[in-house]
Amino acid sequence: MDAIRVSKVEKVACTKNASTLNGTIHLTAHHLIFQYEEAKEKEMWVPYPLISLVTRLPQTMQGQCPLTFHSRTFETFSLAFGKETEALDVFESVKELTVATSVNQLYAFFYTPNPPLPTSNGWSIYSPRDEFMRMGVGSRTKAWRFTDINKDYSFSPTYPSRLVVPTRISDTTLQYASKYRSKCRIPVLSYLHWANYGSITRSSQPMVGITQNRSVQDEKLIESIFQTHHSPESRASTAPVYGATSTNLIIDARPTINAMGNTAKGAGTENMDHYKDSKKAYLGIDSIHVMRESLAKVVDTLREADVLLASINNDLPDAIPGLAVLDRQALRRSGWLRHIQAILEGTVLIARNIHINSSHVLIHCSDGWDRTSQLSALAQMCLDPYYRTIRGFAILVEKDWLSFGHKFLDRCGHLSSDKFFVSPADMGGENSGADAAKAFLASVQNRFASQHHIKETSPVFHQFLEAVRQIQRQFPDRFEFNERFLHQLYYHLYSCQFGTFLYNCERERRVGDGGPPPVERTVSVWDFFNSPEEMELNLNPIYAPQLDEPTSRAPKADMGVLFPNPKDVRFWNELYGRTDEEMNGRVQPVPQVLEPEATPFDDEQGVPSPPLIPLPPSPAQSPPMNLPGSVHLTPTNNPSSFLPDAEGPSPTPRAPRPTAPRVDSFRPISSASAFSLRGFPSSSPTPPPLVPGSSSPNSPKGSGIRTPDFTSMKSVWGRLSSNASAALSVVQEAYVGVARDLRNTASEGDPDVKTSELSGRDTLRTWGEDSAQTPAASTSGFANPWSTADSTEPMSLSSSTATSTSASTSSSGVFENPWGTFSRNTGRQATNSDTIGFSSTATTPIQQQPLPVTESVLPPDPTVSLPKQSTQPLESGLSAMTLESVGARNRQQENVVATSDPPQVPSSTNKTAVSQDIDPLGVGFS
């Protein structure tokens, strides 16, 4: 092995997980091995393909030369050498051994199990004929058939050799239809549902192009797929099948703009005018490049936390155990959970359409081997309990990932690149200039040679495993395998110890290039997982297969079909080597929402309420209400907000239960509602006010928020009937706050006097009256109802809306609760005409006596100080805006002519006289 410059280096300090131990490093052909001194810990074996980044750092002040290693399993360790030559030799040796030029150089072609594995049938665990016959092809239904059109992989090199297509479609039609699909990946069967004849088919994007091409053969093929719920003997029948002809879906996993953008490249998406009895849905799942960048942000955040923790421990004499320095906000900004949520949403859509609507779904993205495999496999795992067993999951991966051509070699980046080995530019000896020039030339050549390979990498299968973990966490007793099984599968995805995940398609695995095929030269990963030792470690102790029986009547039985909650997503902390609290925040104990009654807290536990996230305050401050608890509306539209907030209170965590999933305090109440209800802690000094109708003991039963029982619970959870009721409550709160402040202003003066700003149409004067009787109409109409300016200012609320004593009226205000059932101006039950403060009558006698005002059920706000309301009339026109008129108001008040009537003009439609020289806008016409 010429690549190994040095095979053994002693007295090397290894720093991992904030602890430093000395030992010896060994370099073999396929592993980096670190052996600790005195066997303090188990040997560390690192396969070279697992290394994702190696950084050679400058010499430290202590004379050590460190190398920092980052692995694909999200682990970081540092090796410190005493000599610079040793560090350089190890760096170059690992680089040569990691960067491979051919798949045949990987460890899988040299691995021989010792002792031999008990099973050796891993490569034949999946048989297309056996699996599709298990689904019912050829037995339960005659609408599908096997075809050998791709038996030598000449029809479509990236498709499996055995395909299942509709019986009504001939191989000749398939030949013509293949020209219309990218990479000749025509729509073929992937899953036939056991409960009905609904199906999942998959393909690549159509070659529509700018000229809007179409293919009659492709249209007939999809039409036949969507009619396979009829048996071939009755295919001429036109009898409708419930749900099967109206909800057939063509799922385009891409964002709409990406699908349309591919039209310029000659591809695109289906023109639904040519596809009968089907609809199209865009899922908006981003491309492989976006996924790669998103995971890179997560990795960068983890590395920054490791560096920060190492620096802290180096500066302190004693290491601090359990110190969490991970930036959870940076993790949220990565968008990784948002992408997983989008995948789960598409999965639920497909599963519902097949199981509930008894319909068919065709899935595709661009080439049909990345996002299509994710959605198809996840939907089948939710629909069929068989795929949630260890053997069934292996068959699912073999069928929808390996045989249908997911590009494992390109997506996983098994061959690595020189780009992932970084050394300082200022290092070099006497010929540093020549070495730098040579290194620069080599890097440029490598960039041009392998840049395409680097751009093809993406954590697609990793993302699929994380989505499976999300479903497994939500349904912990519905999977035969545990979390360790998924973790081990992820490890061997990149270890290259087995030949299962080394190639891009089935043809490359089963057809040898001038020699035996890889399936005969390598070991399958399923042989390793089927060994008794691994099987025992990977079994789920709480697995309950009886819940998956279609005829089961158990409380949790659901016919074996799972519908996961896409909003309930969390980081897979075990995969990233962190604690759940460090990555996802502390778990907040949240009361369960029960119907129809609220669930009280246990007073003996002393669990505080969740943290407060108040809404923006209304224009007028609401008065504090000394209530033991309160209910508040909190918007939860941001998907990232479903993670617990670390800055909130720290309640006592619940005792962990292995049989129940975690309760996320930011989990929404309902997927159909954009609001959640949170209880306020009783120790809050000024909790937000209750929405009218929700805090009164006499509130109606049909209200959106139930009446809380303040004597038996610390926090009350209600239930929103819809988003409209929530918005209505917020608007009501704003109206009540404004009306309360204006009511306080009126109470400081004459309690029976109301301003014209708050007068209804039945008490406002008509525009036919003179300026003395209808002062500054437009000014009062457009005054700022939240103004707290002094009453001596011309445009203040009190001056602009005051009425004369002789013409004072009282009516319901427009800023009061418009949905109330009582009219304030009469104290009687409101009718349809005056419920919102208006009436059909338009006149009011000038000498009308003020009507009694109903007292409000809410107390006045002592924190708001408004000026006393003036009762003097205002002048109209520009004279009302001058300083002279303002200063002479007290004198004018005594000289107001209240007994003389203005000139009256008869009106044919109104009995009130209208003035000839009226100034309704108050701008002072002359």
Decide: residue 533, CB within 10 A, 0-12 exposed, 13-18 middle, 19+ buried.
exposed
- Rounded Cα distance between 766 and 769, Å, is 6
- Please say whether the beta carbons of 907 and 914 come within 8 A: yes
| Catalytic residue, candidates 14, 65, 184, 365 | 365
Q: What is the DSSP letter of 385?
A: G
Here the tokens at position 103 are 């798949």
Name residue 144's amino acid. W
Determine the distance from the C-alpha atom of residue 233 to the mean position of all C-alpha atoms in its chain, rounded to a whole number: 46
Determine the distance from the C-alpha atom of residue 595 to the mean position of all C-alpha atoms in its chain, rounded to a whole number: 26
Here the tokens at position 18 are 């904030």
- Rounded Cα distance between 742 and 810, Å, is 13
How far apart, in Å, do the first and last CA atoms of the chain sit?
106
Kindly report the backbone phi and psi dihedral angles of residue 25, in degrees, each rounded to the nearest multiple of 5, phi listed first.
-105, 135
- Rounded Cα distance between 370 and 383, Å, is 20
**CA triple 604-610-612, angle to 5 deg:** 135
CA distances from 442 to 56, 317, 447, 837 (A): 18, 44, 8, 82
- Strand-pairing partners, residue 553, are none
**Distant-in-sequence, close-in-space partners of 776: CB < 8 Å, separation ≥ 6:** 800, 874, 875, 876, 880, 922
**Distant-in-sequence, close-in-space partners of 195: CB < 8 Å, separation ≥ 6:** 355, 550, 559, 561
| Active-site residue flag, 365 | yes
3 state DSSP class of 56: strand
- Rounded Cα distance between 725 and 727, Å, is 5
3 state DSSP class of 141: strand
Binding residues for substrate: 262-265, 365-371
**Distant-in-sequence, close-in-space partners of 596: CB < 8 Å, separation ≥ 6:** none
**Distant-in-sequence, close-in-space partners of 366: CB < 8 Å, separation ≥ 6:** 182, 204, 205, 254, 258, 262, 267, 287
Q: What is the DSSP string of 248-266?
A: -EEEE-S-HHHHHHGGGGT
Q: What is the DSSP letter of 641?
A: G
**Distant-in-sequence, close-in-space partners of 620: CB < 8 Å, separation ≥ 6:** 737, 738, 740, 741, 786, 861, 864
**Distant-in-sequence, close-in-space partners of 47: CB < 8 Å, separation ≥ 6:** 30, 31, 107, 495, 496, 497
- Rounded Cα distance between 872 and 803, Å, is 6
- Please say whether the beta carbons of 762 and 912 come within 8 A: no
How would you write 279-292 as a 3-class SS string?
A: EEEECCCCCHHHHH
Q: What is the DSSP string of 516-579?
A: --HHHHS--HHHHHTSHHHHHHHB-TT--GGGG-TT--STT--TT-----TT-----TTTTT--
Edge-to-edge strand order for the sheet containing 188-192? 188-192, 199-202, 361-364, 249-252, 279-282
Q: How many CA atoms lie within 13 A of 698 on its CB side?
A: 1
Active site residues: 365
